[in-house]
Amino acid sequence: MAQKQFYGDISDAIVNLDKEKAIELAKRAITEKWNLLEVIEKGYGDGIRRIGDLWEEGEFFLPELMLGGNIMQESMDILLPSLKESGASASIGVVVIATIEGDIHSIGKTIVGTMLSANGFDVYDLGADVPAEKIIETAVEKNADVIGVSALLTTTMFGQKKIIDILEDKGIRNKFKVIIGGAPVTKEWTEECKADGFAGSAVGAVKLVKNLLNK
């Protein structure tokens, strides 16, 4: 019960846009030796998903969405160093993630990046509204193992296929595993655009990447 209450308090702090409380709870999670992966997923991640729901329902607007994301990021800046200290120091893979061009929604993608980083991956998060060419250029430059592309709109999800088409045209498709995500993404779409997989949650994305890289 105490665990559920603690995660609930974190989630509420994010939804209430209470930066001071969110940061205080992050520090408490470290000193009290909570499972930090669960703290991120069930506390902070849950709160940021709730903010996303409120935005979709018209209860929150872009400023609240951005503020919630900033509070989440500041909390992660506190948690991640401790999480990495407690785990393996060596990187188990390189992942480049971004939200596709024309789409400004980055909350889900940010959570995925945070969870991948927490699990030992080197993550290069390019942000939102990123052109396909920029994503590929960074993946080549960073010698990435995986490219992750998010899209929340049906009008922008075609950019996910564009990335794979460009990789094929350049003859470098087999250099990268490409995973996709976002509300409109389905198993059928994943097969149609020839991606290597999709996940509906941050935990699912971590499992998917580990499976693809045999980690």
Residues 122, 158: contact at Cβ < 8 Å? no
Structure-block tokens of residue 202: 């941050």
Chosen domain end from 38, 57, 86: 86
Tens of pLDDT, residues 80-124: 888 777 664 467 899 999 999 999 877 778 888 877 887 778 899
The pLDDT value given to residue 88: 47
Which of 83-92, 104-113, 162-171, 202-211 is the least confident region?
A: 83-92
Here the CATH number for the domain that contains residue 197 is 3.40.50.280
Here the CATH number for the domain that contains residue 46 is 1.10.1240.10
Looking at the 3D structure of the chain, how many domains does it have? 2
Whether residue 152 is predicted with pLDDT greater than 90 in this model: the reply is: no
Q: What is the pTM of this model?
A: 0.73
* Domain enclosing residue 11, as ranges: 2-86
- Using DSSP, state whether 21 is helix, strand or coil: helix
Residues 143, 173: contact at Cβ < 8 Å? no
* Max CA separation in the chain (angstroms): 54
The contacts of residue 82 (CB under 8 Å, 6+ apart) are 30, 36
Same domain (yes/no): 73, 176: no
